[in-house]
Amino acid sequence: MFQKIQSYLEQDNTVKKYVSYTLDLEEDHAGLLYDYYEGIEHLEELIQFAKEKEIYISFFVQAKIIEKFPEKIELIRNNHFELHLHSYSHSLRKSKDRIEIREEIEKSKEIYQDFFGKNPKGYRFPLGVLREEEYLILKELDFKFDSSIFPTIRPGYFNNLNKPLMPYKVGGIIEIPFSMFSKIIRVPIALSYIKLFYPLHFLKKYHFSPLVFDFHLHDLFELSSTKKLSIIKRLPYIRKSKDGLVIFLNFYEKLKKEGYESINISKIYKKIKVDNL
């Protein structure tokens, strides 16, 4: 069972609000195309953009990318962006047994440790699919927080309508869920949805904090690899495909005007006060 916790951010009496921009650094289109990495070619452009606009990005990196593109990971580290883990293979299978899950997380952790010389703090499961027992694996492997849960429903994958919208504790791990459009309209505040439902996200004024934003390189940049997807799988990426970076900047400016400060997700974790943590 999950345990609702009180957050420093919720108790803060100031007007300050926080947003964490989290990017899943993975194979193109979440692995729908096996072993395609065209999006990685745009990483330097994103980093320069983020530095110019003073946007803190928390990267959740697929460990296979650490192996295949160590120079890209070094680029992220040298520019002082934080990195957490996003599995090894980014498997699209909807479920695995516990042994497979643990082996996947352990392999990811070992690759991270070898590269960075320290333990990772955060983890993100592919597709937002995880079971309560898998938090125990993260706890056993000394992770501090997870950020995988979409508090909404995706038929065939998960039904998280009963999950809290704010951070909570489960299995000894802090879950920092993705933010939704509202308590009623459970549409994620993510660049893919902002592009799909443009300009609806721009019509709402946000008040809650922390806000966890999700995006990918294929949301920001138009990739030729998109054309290799089947027509059905390609549809979510077609709308506003050339405008991803501009729409992201406009949404960032919108939140900034509403008083949101961009911070790393690890700072959100540190601000959370939990009894006996």
Burial-class residue 186 by CB neighbours within 10 Å (0-12, 13-18, 19+). middle
Q: Is-contact 212 20, C-beta < 8 A?
A: yes
In degrees, rounded to 5, the angle at the alpha carbon of residue 120 between the alpha carbons of residues 45 and 170 is 115
pLDDT of residue 4: 61
Pick from 180, 198, 203: nearest CA to 248: 198
Single pTM value for the model: 0.93
- Give, to the nearest 10 degrees, the angle between helix 132-140 and helix 98-116: 40
Burial-class residue 54 by CB neighbours within 10 Å (0-12, 13-18, 19+). exposed
Q: How far apart are CA 258 and CA 2, in angstroms?
A: 31
Domains of the chain: 17-271 (3.20.20.370)
Q: Is-contact 108 88, C-beta < 8 A?
A: yes
pLDDT of residue 236: 81
Q: Which residue has the tokens 């498997």?
A: 91
Omega cis (within 30) before 164: no
- DSSP per-residue string spanning 212-236: EEEE-HHHHS--GGGGGS-HHHHHH
Q: Could you read off the pLDDT tens digit of each residue along the chain, which spans 277 residues?
A: 566 665 545 444 455 899 999 999 999 987 777 789 999 999 999 999 999 999 999 999 999 999 999 999 999 999 999 999 999 988 756 656 888 899 999 999 999 999 999 999 999 999 999 999 999 999 999 999 999 999 999 998 899 999 999 999 999 999 999 999 999 999 999 999 999 999 999 999 998 999 999 999 999 999 998 988 888 888 888 899 999 999 999 999 999 999 999 999 999 999 885 443 4
Sequence-distant (6+) residues with CB within 8 A of 153 are: 159, 160, 161, 186
Q: Is-contact 216 192, C-beta < 8 A?
A: yes
Pairing state between β 153-154 and 158-159: antiparallel
Q: How far apart are CA 14 and CA 195, in angstroms?
A: 32
Q: How far apart are CA 51 and CA 58, in angstroms?
A: 13
Q: How far apart are CA 232 and CA 101, in angstroms?
A: 29
